[in-house]
Amino acid sequence: MKSAVENVNPTRVKLTVEVPYEELKPRVDEAYKTIAQQIQIPGFRKGKVPSRLIDQRVGRGYVIETAVNEGLNDFYQKAMVENELTPLSRPEVDITELPSIEKEGEGQLVFTLEVDIRPKVELPDYKGIEVSVEAKEVADEDIEKALDDLRGRFGTLKEVEAPAAADSFVTIDLTASVDGEEVDSAQGLSYQIGSGNMLEGMDEAVTGLSAGEDATFETTLAGGEHAGKAATVKVVINAVKQRELPEANDDFAQLASEFDTIAELRENLAKDAAEGKIVEQGVEARELVLDKLVELVEVPVPASVIDEQIEQHFNAPDAEADHDTEEHRSEVRENTERAFKNEIILDAVADAEEVGVEQSELIDYIVQTAGQYGMEPNQFAQMLDGAGQVPMLMGEVRRRKALAKVLEFATVTDSNGAAVDLTSFVKPAGEEEAAEAEVEEAK
């Protein structure tokens, strides 16, 4: 088999593929066997009909056509591999020549195809990219907030005779009406003012109210059969409660942690806060490094592939028709093109750095992603496997590792000009220990 490639544009090629009859013959023989199972001729058992009788009954042209249809995809795949091309779309195929019908063994199969392909990019020297992130310093307020949050987990609610205020817990009854008709009601609900997990306008309505008082406000219903409709809601305050926090002393430290003293607990909270700041800087630096990479690398974008993804977005079963606006389409196109560029660049980095994916890394990513969808990891993994999405996830993990590698090589400073050490961000403790073990073993 021979193939020749013609570049239509940077992301689309035209292939001409020539398959000699010798390579097509196994497909022809298989086609005879298939057709022999489908026809019946008196005097011959099913599947045992001679080729010459099949030619007489259905025509050799039909046999050749069957062989070509069965083998075309394999020949196409082989041509793509030989020319080191990765398809992004379904090929448009045109058969231009078929083997001779009259003379066995003469002629060849020739077909052309056009297909969108992954563009090949040239990476710049990405080692030493310079980025600047916001300076992050641990303040006393950060430690106190962390301590208060911890105390809050061990706090108790106490009913108070005072108006509801920010962060107060209230027990309420709700009645919702649409056009003067009651459509829903609930009693004994618990709500923390400021949490924002109930109806819009709730915080303003209940703030300042005491037990036994009520208020009415206008809102838009968020759930149920009347979701999206304007409603009048009456809220009645049954009780106002405040959280009482345990005193921050050594007893609390022993209750809430493995530390014996409140000083040791504060010291650990300060350490955690510092690590949190590093993570914030790491996330910011990672995005900035990726932005720099996209600026440095010219990535041609296949318009037809992007167009198809945009149509899938707007034609999805859960797509909202009123969101299909020119402005929204422009935004989706920009995001889709950026995602495509990110993928191409990071795959190229992963190839250059010979980045692989360990099974444990894939499992960690599945567990993390499953939590975002509110699913059990095993259930999520089975769903991905059934949908054939595991290779896609492996690619995502590989690209994340590639970006971490670029970040590892980057020079990061903060807005004060100080160097930022992101070693713990790009190489978690477990990886550092493994790397050190490999060095020791090599010695």
- What are the residue ranges spanned by the domains of the chain? 2-116, 156-244, 254-441
- Do the beta carbons of residue 41 and residue 53 sit within 8 Å? yes
CATH of 156-244, one of 3.20.190.10, 3.40.50.1980, 3.10.50.40, 3.40.50.2300: 3.10.50.40
Q: Which residue intervals of 7-139 are DSSP H helices?
A: 21-36, 51-58, 60-82
Instruction: Specify the fold of 2-116.
Output: Alpha-Beta Plaits (3.30.70)
Bridge partners of 186, per DSSP, are 174
Note the pLDDT tens digit of each residue in 195-230.
888 899 999 999 999 999 999 999 998 777 888 889
Looking at 1.10.20, 1.10.3470, 2.20.130, 1.10.3120, the CATH number of the domain 254-441 comes to 1.10.3120
Q: What is the pTM of this model?
A: 0.74
* φ and ψ at residue 18, rounded to 5 degrees: -115, 120
Fold match between 2-116 and 156-244? Answer: no
* Residue showing tokens 């929204």: 328
Greater model confidence, 45 or 62:
62
How far is 89 from 312, CA to CA, in rounded Å?
A: 14
Confidence of residue 428 (pLDDT cuts 50, 70, 90): low
Residue 164 near residue 242, CB atoms below 8 Å: no
pLDDT in tens, 356-405: 999 999 999 999 998 888 889 999 999 999 999 999 999 999 999 999 99
Q: What is the pLDDT of residue 103?
A: 84
Spatial distance between the Cα atoms of 252 and 272, rounded to a whole number of angstroms: 18
What does the mean pLDDT of the chain come to? Answer: 90
Per-residue pLDDT, 322: 62
At residue 86 the predicted structure's pLDDT band, cuts being 50, 70 and 90, is very high
Residue 87: helix, strand or coil by DSSP? Answer: strand
